[in-house]
Each structure stands twice: as C-alpha cells, then as structure tokens.
Structure 1
Amino acid sequence: MSSIAAFQSQTASMIVDIEKKQFQQFVNIKDHMEKHSTYNLVPDKYTAEIKAVVSDFEIRFRDIKKIEKLVEFISYLFNNSINHSDIYEIATKFADTFQMDHVILQNEIITPHCDIFLKARSSLGLDFWALVSNEKYPSLKKCVEQLHSCFGSTYLCESAFSYLKQTKNKHRSRLTDAHTLDSLRLAISNYKPDFANLAEDAQTQCSH
C-alpha cells in the first residue's frame, strides 16, 4: 500500500516538473532541450500521458483506497491521536466493509486501549494481532484476518502466470478458457484426490 502511495506522489511530482519545464526527472528531454534551444516543447502533451496512467492506476487500485484507513488502524492500534470521533468512523468502515455489527466493533476497538497486556506488546507490529484474544475480540479479529488476507504472498500469483505461459502456447491455441482454468487449478493446488474412495463409489461395469 505504501508503494501505491509513493507511486502516486512520484507521478504528481513528474507533472509539476514538466509543467515548470525543469525536467529534473527527465534527463533525456532536458539534454535535448539544451542541445536544441529553439525547440518548443508542449508540456500538455506529456502531462496528459502521465495523467492517463494515474487515472488508470486509481481505477485499478480503488478498492485498496477504501481500506487504507483500516490498514493504518490495525498497523497503529495504539495511536495516541485517535479520538472518539475517529473510533466511530473506523468502526463504521469496518462494519460496512465486512458486514458486521457497528456497536460491537466500536466496543472492541475501545477496549484494547485499556488493556495493559496488549499495550505492552504493541511494538510487535502485525504479529501483535496473534496475541489478541479471539474470545474477547471476535469481530475485530475477524476483520483483521480478512484484511491480512488481502496482502498475502505473491507466490501463487507468480506460479499461476508461469504455468499459464506454458499452458497457452501456440500449439494449444484451441484451449478454452474453462479448460485453462481447470489446468491452473491443478497446477497451483495441493489437493490430492482420494482415488481409492472414488473408485469404490463408482459403478463398475459387469462382465457380459
């Protein structure tokens, strides 16, 4: 999420750099301008391209933007700047995002701030949530677990792309999307069918 925010800030800086014709981030353009002083560069042509990328980027990551405050909250649970108004807003966002009871979530967000055991271990980062009781904070823990699942390892994604490249080659041009999906499931899944049980359930053909 921090990488997304950094990219958006960088693109904004690029636009300002071009509009002011400084070109500190575009050394090739700057070099060209110095060599051809009479060249009239139109900034709008370049800023329009960058803005198009930014717009597409925002569309692709709009769901991430919706949970940004929630991720920030679970990362800094004991932030001293959080007030009752913030807690109400965070509880509302959690409740709307994960379809849970607002009042229960609000109480579960307030309670940890009075828990000395949890406060003493707040420096553990995201590992801190493993110490939070499921019995005492069931709704909040469920929300946190679902948020954590959004940022899992990219291994499966990378494996899927690698296998997809092997599967959909020029020699298998007639492979349907359904069959491709089935192939990907087999490739990246650890599931092993119980062939013995399947064979027992199957109706065998009687000899004639």
Structure 2
Amino acid sequence: KDPEIRKQAVNYTFECVEMARKLDCKTLNLWPGQDGYDYVLQSNIALERRYLMENIREVAKAAPDINFSLEYKPKEPRNFCFMARASDTLLLAKETALDNVGVTIDTGHALVGGENVAESIVILQEYGRKLFHMHFNDNYGHWDDDMIIGSVHFPLFVETLFWLKETNYTGWLSMDQYPYREDGQGALRESVAFLQMIESRLTDEVMQELRDLMSRGNAVESQRWLRRTFFK
C-alpha cells in the first residue's frame, strides 16, 4: 500500500539484477511472500495485485537480459498470498506482456496448494512456455516442510520428471530444502540422487511406454507399471 515501500522493493530488485549480471546469472527468482493479506476485508485485492504486476513489469522491462521467474506459494508468511497457484501466477506473468517474465514451480508449494505438479508444468508450458525454473522438495501436503525429495510423494516425482522431459524444459532443477535436524549435505545428496535415479530410468523406450499408458487411461495398469519399474 505504501508507495515508499514499493519503491524500496523495486530498487532492491534492481540491485539483485546488477548482482545477477556480475555473476552471469540469467534467471532471477522472485518470491514476494509478503504480498498478500491475512483477513477478509483487509486488502484492496484488485489494486494491490495491480501494484505487484506493475512493479514486476517495471523491473523486467528495464532488464530484458534477465529472466524474472515468479515463485508462487498459497500461504506463509501471509494467510493468502497474491501469487498462490500456477494459474494465477501465469496470468500475472502474461499480464506484464514481457517475454522475460515467467513462473517458478516449487514442488512443495504446489503440493500445499493442492496442485498436481505435472499438470502445472503442462499448463505453464502450453500457455507460452512460461516455466522458467523448478524448486524441488517434498512434504505431506499441509505445510511447506521442505523435506527430502521422494520421502513422501514417490510417484508424483516420476510424473513430474516425465512431463519436464516431454515438454522440453531446459531450465535448472534446484534444491529448495531446510533439513533443520538432518545432515544438510546428506539430505541434499539423497534428493539429487533420487531425481537422477528417476531420470536414468526415463529412456526413450520408457518415455514411449508412459505415453502409451496414459493414452489408455488405465490406473491399475499404471500402478502396476510403477511397481514393476521401480520396486522390483
């Protein structure tokens, strides 16, 4: 609401742009977690969403050499975040009318929002190839626990990597985890190893098997395939 605070946020983002250039970093991830509200009748939703879009557009238009990837999250630290889902974040990105504004999927945020990560990937890629970045972690679906990948949602990550490959995603796969009580390096190594294990199984032959499975739409057959492929 405060124009001075908005100006500070824009200036800080410009500082991040300069740092990205010095590091030869082509993608800047933006997570405006404080942009939202906690109570009904607290926020002028239309106006404040417009402020958010206009400020993102101002920075991205001035830095066409940098991709700005908008990371969404349903809640925390606000009860309702303006960029809460893949679809509303895609709409905001497209409203800027800039090719260098896209979306980051954080798998944990998507799970908390009740999304199927694979479907979010397809939506972002089908509507303008707006998937710019991926953050990987796992949780139980009710909070952003940032757990080791595959510790809860094994099949989901198989489908996620399938659709990343199927839609020709060429960006980074980043780890976004907070192993508060676990060995941090070990947790990250397990997460990377888990994704590498799935990726190694997705050969051209297996990709075609999955396409055929999906075309038949037989859930029992698909579950049998998962068991025989990954648990034999």
Q: TM-score range by the shorter chain?
A: under 0.3
Structure having the higher helix fraction is 1
Q: Which has the higher strand share?
A: 2
Of the two, which has the highest radius of gyration? 1
